[in-house]
Amino acid sequence: MQRCRSITKLFLAFSALLLAVTIASSGFAQEAPKPQLSRVSVTQVKPEMWEQFLAFYKNETLPALKKAGIKQSLVMQSSGPVGSSFELRVVQPIESLAQFDEGSALTKALGPEGRKAYDAKRRAMIVSSHAYIIRSVPEATIPQTGTSNLMIRREISVAPGRRAEYESYQKDLLAVLKKTNLKGHRVSRLVIGGDLNMYFHLDSFDSWAEYEKFQAALPNIEGYSKLSGRTVGVVMHTNVSAYTPMPELSITPAPAAAASK
């Protein structure tokens, strides 16, 4: 029950960020929603070092990130009967690429020598690590609501020169997706660190059973069949994987203070 409440708190906080850029405040409905940049890091951990790495992240990485002033961080692990094992994926919203000119958050917190010691310890526990930057497509997003224990992630490769068509399709598809049992639907595009024609979807569900219901119901929802044909020649390939959120390793921002009246 405690883990369920923690997951709910984590995703409601991240959804608040998405909600802020996907709806306009009263009196400013004409304003377009603003996309959110995020840094995504993916770490493949040595199987025999998995438990040690999680303890290292909790006891050393997490405190250092908080000391450096990181306000928000979503940590997920690959899990379940499909996908890669022993993989940790971390998503951190960023305000601007300019913050990288100021140096690493971990180095700020640990100092140069402390960072060297940290990196040496971390290298001994991992197989590989890489990072990239994504930008959200808020017009195609359903903010997270309630508890979610399963996250289905899709990597979608779009044909060169067809990104505008794909994003238009995703925005039109939103009305259909809102009729399903999705708890959240996030769309973003890779902007630095890989193929610039790559999009990512992150869909939230209560369970595998709920995901199965979604898969069965989607083709029968009015409007879906007409829209699905628009991906022909636009989508090159799709890769699907599953993740579980780890609230105990994540950073959830404090609730915003109520505005004075």
Q: What is the pLDDT of residues 53-90, one digit of tens each?
A: 999 999 999 999 999 989 999 999 986 677 778 999 99
Q: What is the reported pLDDT for 161? A: 95
User: Hey, what CATH class is 135-244 in?
Assistant: alpha beta
* pLDDT tens-digit series, residues 156-171: 999 999 999 999 999 9
Dihedral (Cα; 183, 259, 2, 82), 10-degree rounding: 30
Q: What is the reported pLDDT for 38? A: 96
CA distances from 2 to 10, 18, 63, 204, 254 (A): 12, 25, 22, 19, 18
**Could you tell me the pTM of the whole model?**
0.81
CA–CA distance, 143 with 2 (Å, rounded to integer): 23
User: Hey, what CATH class is 2-20+33-134 in?
Assistant: alpha beta
Which range (20-34, 51-65, 238-252) has the least confidence?
A: 20-34
Give every CB contact of residue 51 below 8 A, 6+ residues apart in sequence.
Answer: none
Which amino acid type is present at position 98?
A
Give every CB contact of residue 9 below 8 A, 6+ residues apart in sequence.
Answer: 247, 252
For 132-187, the three-class secondary structure string (H helix, E strand, C coil) is EEEEECHHHCECCCCCCCEEEEEEEEECCCCHHHHHHHHHHHHHHHCCCCCCEEEE
How far is residue 7 CA from its own chain's centroid? 14
Q: What is the reported pLDDT for 252? A: 84
Q: What is the reported pLDDT for 7? A: 54
Q: What is the reported pLDDT for 145? A: 77
CA-based nearest residue to 76, from 253, 255, 241: 241
Name the more confident of 9 and 173.
173
How far is residue 132 CA from its own chain's centroid? 12
Beta strands in the chain (DSSP E): 37-45, 74-78, 87-94, 126-136, 150-158, 184-192, 198-205, 235-245
Q: Answer yes or no: is pLDDT of 199 > 70.
A: yes
Per CATH, 2-20+33-134 and 135-244 having the same topology is answered: yes
Q: Which two tokens stand for residue 113?
A: 């020598």
Q: Which two tokens stand for residue 229?
A: 């044909």
pLDDT range class, residue 31, cuts 50, 70, 90: low
Domain ranges of the chain: 2-20+33-134, 135-244
pLDDT more than 70, % of the chain: 83
Q: Which two tokens stand for residue 50?
A: 């998995």
pLDDT range class, residue 232, cuts 50, 70, 90: very high
